Amino acid sequence: MERMPKWADVVLIPLISLLLAAVLSGLVILAIGEDPINALNLMIKGALGSTYGWGYTLYYATNFMFTGLAVAVAFHARLFNIGGEGQAMLGGLGVALVCLYLPWPHWSLALIASTVGAALFGAAWAFLPAVLQAKRGSHIVITTIMFNFIAAAFLNWLLVGPLKPRGGMDPSTARFPEATNLPSLHDLLAPLGISFSKAAPANISFLVGILACVLVWVLIWRTRLGYEIRAFGHSEPAARYAGISPTKITVITMLISGGLAGMMAINNVMGEAERLVLNATEGAGFIGIAVALMGRSHPFGVFLAAILFGFLYQGGAELALWTAIPRELIIVIQALVILFTGALDNMVRMPLERIFMALRRRGA
Amino acid sequence: MTADTPDAARQVTAAPDPQVPAIELRGISKAFGPVQANKDISIRVMPGTIHGIIGENGAGKSTLMSILYGFYKADAGEIFISGQKTTIPDSQAAIAAGIGMVFQHFKLVENFTVLENIILGAEDGGLLRPSLAKARASLKSLATEYELNVDPDAVIEDIGVGMQQRVEILKALYRQADILILDEPTGVLTPPEADHLFRILRNLRDEGKTIILITHKLREIMDITDTVSVMRRGEMTATVKTAETSPAQLAELMVGRKVLLRVEKTPATPGKPVLDVDNLRVVDAAGVERLRGVSFTIRAGEVLGLAGVAGNGQSELLEVLGGMMPATGTVRVNGTPIDLTGPHADGQSRRAAGIAHVPEDRQRKGLIMDYAAWENSVFGYHRDPTIGRGPLMRNAAILDHAAAQMQRFDVRPPNPRLPAKAFSGGNQQKVVLAREIERGPDLLLIGQPTRGVDIGAIEFIHQQVIALRDAGKAILLVSVELDEIMALSDRIAVIFDGRIMGEVAAEDASARELGLMMAGVSTGKAS
């Protein structure tokens, strides 16, 4: 018997958690002598009040969608992929190599090839931790997090060395050729008669992100592989009984997960920077964990959570720009959201379950 | 009686008045949401008796005992301990009232010694030494008094389940329990261990303790109890003197209809050999040889029962044949050798070879507890081309098929959208059995088919196994219930310490002879 209706589980709990996080954040803002209502206004106006704000919000959201899906897929197999950051960095390398060293007649072909390149490089970076987990039992949390550092160091070396163009003054690759530049939302919406900010970085990758959400949903709930992934996540002995190889599922799941994390690079590297810079991921790999937690590992939940975190990112940046609230506080707010929606889930869930049980008893 | 002066209170209960019930429950009701787990239950348990409570899974036995032990609060009703009205808000109060409980799943600290476990929560002060000394002394007297011998310095994880159970009983007695509740105590015990437990319980009763035994095994009730209460769907349907009842009557009271306790079957008509096992050996991860050269044959249309005390290699045998564990030796199915170590030593290949497997542990292996019944209805067969196209599964078709299957196998409730964990043990087993039988395997491996299954479902499951046999399939039955082996098998083999001790035709088998072989004594008939 379900303890409470599904809508309460999926909608009510995240909303209450979010509200609690907002209240606590308000108190913190109050404590440093600023006006929380004004701050909230600024955040909303900055992130959602203009197409420019929306452009940034959706841009960040696209990053989080990919990394959130990556973590969510792994969660279904009860694997905790903390390496989204490193996998996304390698995805950036894949994109850079595709864009720089192959000639592309049109951005659409370049986008397809870059997506494949990003996914391959991201998956490759997840492969070794996956094999170590499956064959040797090295814990995937430890290995993926270590691989983040290796990825950062590796990219550092590439960007000050082999990939840096002659005479370049900063650690980055050369600009990608014009033909590989992706259309922004401004370009996409203009033919429809909608004027969208030209300066905002949101681009066609946002649509690829939505497509990825749909495909992941199909994978998890409609395919034999998804069935095996979930079965393995629920019970390894049962998976073994059903003839599902734990080694194979661990590796395949991590390859998909790493591939999704890597695909983030088409947004930030190809869509926005149009060259590979140092630390291009800006922590999006870690935000993906919070997004997957808040989205309950469901692709639609991940989509919504990614938009929320996009809002927090963009709104937070505006806040730092227009008030005396330091940028660090934005991280505090984000941390509170993660804390309440992810870690303190049961704090909201248990009293709510009790309320629903009591309501039902009265109704019965 | 307050928790502050348990010893003073004990003086009153130490000499129980034989006319006053040790426990009396009046009108106990408890609901969980819309489910009425206990309906207006009244019961009187006289001191110095063993009182059985029997009922199918989900009949409300455990809920009732949880109320008595302070885990749940009853919605209505009163509890009297030795004639005094008592409220039991938590287990501390239950202990103070002289109630001790031995759970089905022990609550012991694995890496503590027996003595440390016994004083856990009952330490007298900040220092352990005086408490340990006191416990050691009282353990000595308890051991001689009740045949409760346990090495006080043994670490829990090093001793067998029978011993662990004694530690649980000692824990209760050390806390001066006068009333002992045991929840399905023999579920994990071998027959000799169960016999020993019953001796202990009789000793305790003769010393004036009151014992409540919760079980679903009719034989235990008949063997040991003085009175028995039967529960069905949250209600107490009858309380009778054990001497004045019969297993058939109790079964009828439990299920609400007449139940066949014997399996009706005709003699087998064995055909060609289906499974041929030769010199099978398994070494487990710890390097211990679990199967030491096992050989046997099963023909089409017969049931081979493999009897043995749990842990003698029968689980490994099932896992090897089911493709979950590598082994050496040869296994032929319909004359074709199957892969025992290579890439085709997995469950998928076994199913393709015509082997279906109802595993011993249906909750950990046979089912995904969080999957809906319809998802479980293809578990292990999810790669079958018939249930989908390419990488996709036809969920709607699987759902329809599962719904029809649940009707045929009388799974209750017949709702394929419910998760497996929402079904009772018997209905879970029917879901597994339906899945494994309906694809027409040549060989069915079935382990502990009725463990944790209620009587009504046992009858059904046994009928299904016999029907499959009569359809000309080979069946390997592994069970620790000797009664079940004897009722279903055409031939019985006994496994001990990884070896087949011997094999007898079912009609010639006697429980005594099988019992000896299960204990490792060869009777000269070994093949």
Tell me which long-range contacts B411-420 makes (C-beta under 8 A, separation of at least 24). B411/B373, B415/B373, B416/B372, B416/B373, B416/B374, B416/B377, B417/B372, B417/B373, B417/B374, B418/B372, B418/B373, B419/B369, B419/B370, B419/B371, B419/B372, B419/B373, B420/B367, B420/B368, B420/B369, B420/B370, B420/B371, B420/B372, B420/B373, B420/B376
Instruction: Determine how many CB atoms are found less than 10 A away from the CB of residue A195.
Output: 10
The pLDDT of residue B261: 65
Name the residue of chain A whose CA is nearest to B394's CA: A222
Is B351–A243 a contact, with Cβ atoms under 8 angstroms apart?
yes
Q: Report whether A147 contacts A128 (CB < 8 A).
A: yes
Answer yes or no: is pLDDT of A157 > 90: yes
Q: Where in chain B is the domain with CATH 3.40.50.300?
A: 22-98+178-255, 273-370+437-518
CA distance linking residue A116 with residue A122, whole number of Å: 10
Nearest Cα residue to B58 out of B236, B257, B231, B247: B231
The pLDDT of residue B379: 96
In which region does residue B293 sit, left (phi positive, over 0), alpha (psi from -120 to 50) or beta (all else)? left
Is B393–A223 a contact, with Cβ atoms under 8 angstroms apart?
yes
ipTM of the complex: 0.86
The one-character DSSP state at B105 is S
CA trace torsion A73, A75, A81, A82 (10° rounding): 120
Query: Is the bond leading into B413 cis (omega within 30 degrees of zero)?
Result: yes
Roughly how many angstroms between the first and final C-alpha of chain A, as a whole number?
14
Nearest to B391 among A223, A240, A244 (CB): A223
Instruction: Determine how many CB atoms are found less than 10 A away from the CB of residue B230.
Output: 26
Answer yes or no: is pLDDT of A73 > 60: yes
**A248 reaches B (C-beta below 8 A):** no
B residues 304..363 contacting A (CB < 8 A) = 322-324, 346-351, 357, 359, 361
Is A241–B382 a contact, with Cβ atoms under 8 angstroms apart?
no
Low-confidence ranges of chain B (pLDDT < 50): 1-14, 525-527
**B399 reaches A (C-beta below 8 A):** no
Least Cα separation, residue B435 to chain A (angstroms): 12
pLDDT over 90 for what percent of chain A?
Answer: 68
Task: Name beta bridge partners: B276.
Answer: B297, B332
Superfamily of domain B273-370+437-518, CATH level 4:
P-loop containing nucleotide triphosphate hydrolases (3.40.50.300)
The pLDDT of residue A1: 43
> What confidence tens digit (pLDDT) does each residue in A13-37 have?
888 888 998 899 999 989 988 888 9
- The b-or-e profile of B14-51 (16+ CB within 10 A means b, else e) is eebeeeebbbbbeebbbbebeebbbbebebbbbbbbbb
Q: Report whether B497 contacts B292 (CB < 8 A).
A: yes
Is A227–B375 a contact, with Cβ atoms under 8 angstroms apart?
yes
Identify the three-state secondary structure at position A261. Answer: helix
CA distance linking residue A262 with residue A96, whole number of Å: 12
**Which residues of chain A make contact with B422, given a CB cutoff of 8 A?**
1
CA distance linking residue B62 with residue B44, whole number of Å: 17
CA distance linking residue B240 with residue B205, whole number of Å: 19
**Which residues of chain A make contact with B359, given a CB cutoff of 8 A?**
241
Least Cα separation, residue B433 to chain A (angstroms): 14
Is B368–A245 a contact, with Cβ atoms under 8 angstroms apart?
no
CA distance linking residue A65 with residue A287, whole number of Å: 10
Residue among A1, A224, A228, A247 with most chain B CBs within 10 A, to mutate: A224
Helix or strand holding residue B253 (H, E)? helix B247-255
The pLDDT of residue B308: 86
Residue among B32, B339, B368 with most chain A CBs within 10 A, to mutate: B368
Question: In angstroms, what CA-CA distances link B99 with A64, B124, B175, B187?
Answer: 56, 20, 9, 22
Is A241–B380 a contact, with Cβ atoms under 8 angstroms apart?
yes
Q: Report whether B118 contacts B174 (CB < 8 A).
A: yes
Residue among B383, B398, B417, B435 with most chain A CBs within 10 A, to mutate: B383
Is A1–B422 a contact, with Cβ atoms under 8 angstroms apart?
yes
Provide the residue ranges of all domains of chain A, joining segments of one domain with +: 65-321
Identify the three-state secondary structure at position B68. Answer: helix
**B392 reaches A (C-beta below 8 A):** yes
A45 compared with B516, residue with greater pLDDT: A45
The pLDDT of residue A311: 92
Question: In angstroms, what CA-CA distances link A170 with A90, A164, A282, A297, A362?
Answer: 19, 8, 17, 38, 68
The pLDDT of residue B524: 52
> What confidence tens digit (pLDDT) does each residue in A102-134 have?
999 999 999 999 999 999 999 999 999 999 999
**Which residues of chain A make contact with B393, given a CB cutoff of 8 A?**
222-224, 227
> What confidence tens digit (pLDDT) does each residue in A178-193 have?
999 999 999 999 998 8
Identify the three-state secondary structure at position B81. Answer: strand
Q: Tokens standing for A241?
A: 């009984």
CA distance linking residue B199 with residue B149, whole number of Å: 12
**Which residues of chain B make contact with A231, given a CB cutoff of 8 A?**
368, 371, 379
Name the residue of chain B whose CA is nearest to A232's CA: B368
> What confidence tens digit (pLDDT) does each residue in B407-427 have?
999 998 899 999 998 888 889
Q: Report whether A90 contacts A255 (CB < 8 A).
A: no
Is B22-98+178-255 CATH 3.40.50.300?
A: yes
